[in-house]
């Protein structure tokens, strides 16, 4: 395989940092006519992780799509992370992925071995998830991009959306924050090999184990934390559920060295788009500015953010820690207040 290719050098943005900002996206979607269907349980108007269509009393189809430019230089690693990121949307809804289609953009001169390794990374990760890649679509592009369109299934009564959180629920998060900042540092040659390998390993980890634990308990709402950052996705959850949330910032897991890099101003552009969208509804209190940056940082293949019944929170967290050792209890859901998110 071609060893000298540096995929991240071929793209302006990396991973979910390339995502259209939430405020811009709302403007682009404004005014679009939506059609109703009694079997459509979740559509794009819900700002949720995937669409859900009920097929029968016992079966609903869950569908999502996600792709982005390289988050890693190694093609196989990029393929794994991109696939894990796309599959995560199905897990966030409580579903199980079954079928997937490749979405591939490659420069005409990209080495064949590199393209093969990229696709193999995606295939291997999909297989690990129990899904089958059955085809896809490919085009030439100046920048490489890869992802999946994923179809999964869930029992309609076991569907978990991002709009069911209740006051008193405990907020759990299953992966650390800061991948956008670390990736920005990596593109600038400022990240060590140890930190890079750890970040890639976490991003390539499926949220399958977290989902499998979650569905055993009274989880009222869930979303995966990706391009809009923790505060952006939590804001969508709070607004959809008509609640507020209080985060204990000291409990939020962070990647190594991310605060140091944040304090130096090594920040991705998506972070500023996320801040612009959410900050009016966030009471940041006395939160350190470097940490606040991380809370807005766009994540790639981030963890699941769950709102779980308080009586189930300890048991779920204990089970998560047995299979997802970086899981944390980070806050609590409150009655709706003037602001949607309070940091302490």
pLDDT in tens, 188-224: 999 999 999 999 999 999 999 999 999 999 999 999 9
pLDDT in tens, 140-175: 999 999 999 999 999 999 999 999 999 999 999 999
DSSP 23-84: HHHHHHHTT------TTEEE-GGG--SSEEEEEETTEEEEEEEEEES-SSSSHHHHHHHHHH
Do the bridges between strand 96-106 and strand 132-140 make them parallel or antiparallel, or are there none, so unpaired?
parallel
Active site residues: 16
| 207 DSSP assignment | S
Q: Domain 170-343, what architecture?
A: Alpha-Beta Complex (3.90)
Q: Say what the pLDDT of residue 331 is.
A: 98
Q: Say what the pLDDT of residue 327 is.
A: 98
Q: Say what the pLDDT of residue 2 is.
A: 44
Choose between 178 and 43: higher pLDDT. Answer: 178
CA–CA dist 252, 152 (Å, integer)? 30
Closest by CA to 233, choosing from 269, 178, 277, is 277
pLDDT in tens, 287-316: 999 999 999 999 999 999 999 999 999 999
Per-residue CA distances from 305 to 36, 151, 327 (Å): 29, 21, 10
CA–CA dist 152, 333 (Å, integer)? 29
Question: What's the whole-number mean pLDDT along residues 21-25?
Answer: 65
Which range, of 33-37, 185-189, 297-301, averages the lowest pLDDT? 33-37
Choose between 26 and 63: higher pLDDT. Answer: 63
Per-residue CA distances from 319 to 252, 312, 344 (Å): 18, 11, 27
Q: Say what the pLDDT of residue 144 is.
A: 94
CA–CA dist 163, 52 (Å, integer)? 14
Closest by CA to 186, choosing from 177, 175, 199, is 199
Asked if the model's pLDDT at residue 245 lies above 90, the reply is yes
Contact (Cβ atoms closer than 8 angstroms) between residue 62 and residue 152: yes
Average pLDDT score over the chain? 93
pLDDT tier for residue 27 given thresholds of 50, 70 and 90 = confident
Burial 291-315 (b: 16+ CB within 10 A, else e): bbbbbbbbbbbbbbbbbbeeebbee
Contact (Cβ atoms closer than 8 angstroms) between residue 208 and residue 288: no
Q: Say what the pLDDT of residue 228 is.
A: 94
pLDDT in tens, 172-183: 999 999 999 999
Asked if the model's pLDDT at residue 4 lies above 80, the reply is no
Q: Say what the pLDDT of residue 18 is.
A: 66
Asked if the model's pLDDT at residue 15 lies above 80, the reply is no
Asked if the model's pLDDT at residue 121 lies above 70, the reply is yes
- Which segments of the chain belong to CATH 3.90.650.10? 170-343
- Which segments of the chain belong to CATH 3.30.1330.10? 7-158
CA–CA dist 96, 130 (Å, integer)? 8
pLDDT in tens, 49-99: 789 999 999 999 999 999 999 999 999 999 999 999 999 999 999 999 999
Q: Domain 7-158, what architecture?
A: 2-Layer Sandwich (3.30)
301: left (phi over 0), alpha (psi -120 to 50) or beta: left
Asked if the model's pLDDT at residue 261 lies above 60, the reply is yes
- Reduced to 3 states (helix: H, G, I; strand: E, B; else coil), residue 162 is coil
CA–CA dist 88, 126 (Å, integer)? 11
CA–CA dist 52, 95 (Å, integer)? 10
Maximum separation of any 2 CA atoms in the chain, in Å: 56
């Amino acid at each position: 395989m071609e060893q000298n290719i540096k995929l991240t050098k071929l793209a302006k943005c990396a991973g979910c940092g390339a995502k259209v900002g939430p405020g811009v996206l709302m403007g682009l979607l404004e005014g679009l006519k939506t059609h109703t269907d009694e079997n459509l349980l979740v559509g794009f108007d819900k700002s949720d992780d995937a669409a859900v269509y009920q097929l029968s009393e016992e079966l609903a189809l869950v569908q999502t799509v996600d792709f982005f430019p390289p988050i890693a230089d190694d093609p196989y690693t990029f393929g794994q992370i991109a696939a894990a990121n796309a599959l995560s949307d199905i897990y966030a809804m409580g579903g199980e992925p079954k079928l997937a289609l490749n979405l591939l953009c490659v420069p005409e001169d990209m080495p064949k071995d590199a393209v093969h390794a990229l696709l193999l990374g995606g295939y291997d990760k999909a297989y690990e998830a129990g899904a089958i890649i059955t085809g896809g679509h490919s085009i030439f592009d100046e920048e490489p991009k890869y992802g999946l369109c994923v179809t999964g299934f869930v029992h309609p009564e076991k569907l978990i959306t991002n709009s069911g959180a209740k006051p008193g629920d405990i907020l759990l998060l299953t992966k650390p924050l800061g991948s956008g900042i670390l990736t920005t540092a990596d593109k600038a040659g400022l990240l060590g090999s140890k930190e890079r390998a750890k970040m890639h390993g976490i991003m390539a980890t499926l949220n399958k184990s977290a989902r499998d634990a979650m569905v055993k308990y009274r989880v009222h709402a869930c979303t995966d934390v990706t391009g809009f950052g923790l505060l952006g996705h939590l804001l969508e959850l709070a607004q959809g559920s008509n609640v507020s949330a209080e985060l204990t910032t000291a409990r939020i897991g962070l990647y190594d060295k991310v605060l140091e890099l944040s304090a130096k101003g090594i920040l991705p552009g998506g972070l500023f788009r996320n801040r612009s969208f959410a900050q009016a509804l966030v009471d940041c209190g006395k939160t350190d500015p470097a940490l606040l940056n991380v809370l807005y940082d766009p994540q790639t293949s981030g963890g699941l953010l769950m709102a779980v019944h308080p009586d189930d929170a300890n048991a779920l967290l204990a089970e998560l820690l047995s299979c997802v050792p970086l899981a944390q209890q980070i806050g609590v859901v409150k009655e709706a207040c003037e602001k949607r998110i309070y940091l302490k």
